[in-house]
Amino acid sequence: MNKRAHLIIVSLSLLAMAGAAFAEEEQPVLVTIPRMSLDTALNAAQAAINACRKEGVQVAVTIVDRGGHPQVVLRDVLAMNLTLAISRNKAYTAL
């Protein structure tokens, strides 16, 4: 390889490394994603159960996380088993 071709390759490599370093400075290293704490999710589910009890309805409540995975699942004493699937599907759809 001649000297000129070698100089061009080295120059392009340096430019690529400088461009990558510049791009990294613009982008954050970590991305903060807000998440609901377990206590908050549990309080929300319990509040929903209590509100339905006041109306005389026995239900199941599912709180899902950002990925659609159940974080809290509560079923009142007399709620049918079917209410578990219904509450999960409603929570996932709301997400």
The 10s digit of each residue's pLDDT in 23-62 is 556 787 888 889 999 999 999 999 999 999 999 999 999 9
Q: How much is the pLDDT for 54?
A: 96
Per the structure, how many domains does the chain have? 1
Q: Is residue 86 part of a domain?
A: yes
**84 within 8 A of 70, measured Cβ to Cβ:** no
Domain that holds residue 74: 38-94
Structure tokens at 34: 């807000």
Query: DSSP code of 68?
Result: S
Average pLDDT over residues 58-84: 95
| Mean of the per-residue pLDDT values of the chain | 86
Average pLDDT over residues 8-26: 67
Q: Is residue 15 part of a domain?
A: no
- Give the pLDDT band of residue 19 (cuts 50, 70, 90): low
Q: Is residue 4 part of a domain?
A: no
Average pLDDT over residues 69-74: 96
Report which of residues 47 and 17 the model is more confident about.
47
Which of 65, 59, 35, 64 has its CA nearest to residue 46? 59
Share of the chain above pLDDT 90, in %: 62
In whole angstroms, give the CA distance from residue 67 to residue 73.
15
